[in-house]
Amino acid sequence: MSEQYAYLRGQFVPLDQATISVRTHAFLYGTAVFEGLKAYWLPESQQMGVFRMPEHYARLMNSCRILRLRSPLNHEEMCALTLDLLKRNQCSSATYIRPIVYKSDLRIGPILTVKDTQDDFCLFTVPMDGYIDTTKGLHVGVSAWRRLDDNAIPARAKVNGAYVNTALAKTDGHLCGYDDVVVLTNEGHVAEGSAMNLFLVRGNQLITSAITENILEGITRDTIVELATKELGLKVISRPIDRTELYVADEAFFAGTATEIAAITQFDHRYLGDGKVGKITQQLQDLFSKAIHGLLPQYRHWITPV
């Protein structure tokens, strides 16, 4: 592999030199927001392409607004830097992209609006062919940890510090023998997976939690809704979901940038259907794989060539 680079403090630097001070505000208090994008090899054009990059950076700017961060770069500059970094790192297979806007002040005190406060932007890439095994059905448990409320730390912003909630839920789930977990809201409704959105199939309906259920407004979620309605003719319903609905679903799957589409075949030791990956899940996995690799002409506008 060629030498890898990151973008930090206004310049490209070797990845092993992309470091910050232990006094950095974001390190001390989690005062940063991030995005997760993926780039894929496009077999027809023989080049890399970033999937839904404008939407990801629009969401990052919204996260900045919520956390009172002033990004030193605008939307267009972030997109251009991303393409530049992918070229510098000579990426030629599935690659995860992590941009972060963070409080870079070297100061003590968890307040976001100090005079002359400093905010910065950094960016790096990681090869990622498989974040989670999507070839088999997952066994998922319902976590005892609840999803943070919008009036505590809003889930629609990808706030670095909020992912302690994810880490607690996911780690305890693994220790209990589950592949991953579903987290509930304080009201007891299903929110989402540890760090990805959740879909259920019941009959010919695709059901997902409403965005008011303290979930991330997922870009992969939005992609699946469009593919399901336009390509499969499914009715998609966004509403509150009770815990016991998990147990009586015909099919279920997680969806996210890193996760892509991962089938679920068990909830809390209860099999769904015949215990195998469902037909609709398989159809959506196939459509999604074709879309991200530029093989569906009607969705090529989702891809930014590198």
Tokens of 272: 């769904």
> Residue 42 belongs to what domain range?
5-127
pLDDT for 88 beyond 80 = yes
Question: Looking at the DSSP assignment, which residues form a beta bridge with residue 191?
Answer: none
The reply to whether 299 falls in a domain is: no
pLDDT in tens, 36-74: 999 999 999 999 999 999 999 999 999 999 999 999 999
pLDDT of residue 116: 72
Q: Are residues 142 and 102 in the same domain?
A: no
pLDDT for 224 beyond 90 = yes
pLDDT of residue 71: 95
- Is the distance from CB of 123 to CB of 7 less than 8 angstroms? yes
Q: How far apart (Å, rounded) are the C-alpha atoms in residues 233 and 167? A: 36
CATH of the domain at 264: 3.20.10.10
CATH of the domain at 99: 3.30.470.10
pLDDT in tens, 134-178: 878 999 999 999 999 999 999 999 999 999 999 999 999 999 999
pLDDT in tens, 103-131: 999 999 998 887 778 899 999 999 998 78
Q: How far apart (Å, rounded) are the C-alpha atoms in residues 263 and 229? A: 19
Residue-by-residue DSSP string for the chain? -PPPEEEETTEEEEGGG----TTBHHHHH--EEE--EEEEEETTTTEEEEETHHHHHHHHHHHHHHTT---SS-HHHHHHHHHHHHHHTT--S-EEEEEEEEE--B--S--S--TT--EEEEEEEEE-S-SS--SSPEEEEEEEEEPPPTTTS-TTS-BGGGHHHHHHHHHHHHHTT-SEEEEE-TTSBEEEESSSEEEEEETTEEEE--TTTT----HHHHHHHHHHHHHS--EEEE---BHHHHHH-SEEEEEETTTEEEEEEEETTEE-TTSS--HHHHHHHHHHHHHHTT--GGGGGGEEE-
Residue in this structure with the two tokens 């505590």, named with its chain if needed: 152
Rounded percentage of the chain residues whose pLDDT exceeds 70: 100
Q: Are residues 175 and 52 in the same domain?
A: no
Mean pLDDT across the stretch 238-262? 98
Q: Are residues 151 and 41 in the same domain?
A: no
Q: Which of 127, 152, 179 is the last residue of a domain?
A: 127
The reply to whether 306 falls in a domain is: no
pLDDT for 132 beyond 90 = no
Q: Are residues 96 and 142 in the same domain?
A: no
CA geometry: angle 12, 220, 258, nearest 5 deg? 50
Mean pLDDT across the stretch 291-297? 98
Q: Are residues 257 and 223 in the same domain?
A: yes
Q: Are residues 168 and 89 in the same domain?
A: no
Task: Please state, in angstroms and as integers, the Cα–Cα distance from residue 59 to each residue in 172, 174, 210, 223, following that order.
Answer: 29, 30, 18, 15
pLDDT for 81 beyond 80 = yes
Rounded percentage of the chain residues whose pLDDT exceeds 90: 93
pLDDT of residue 133: 81
- What are the backbone angles phi and psi of residue 118, rounded to the nearest 5°? -115, 130
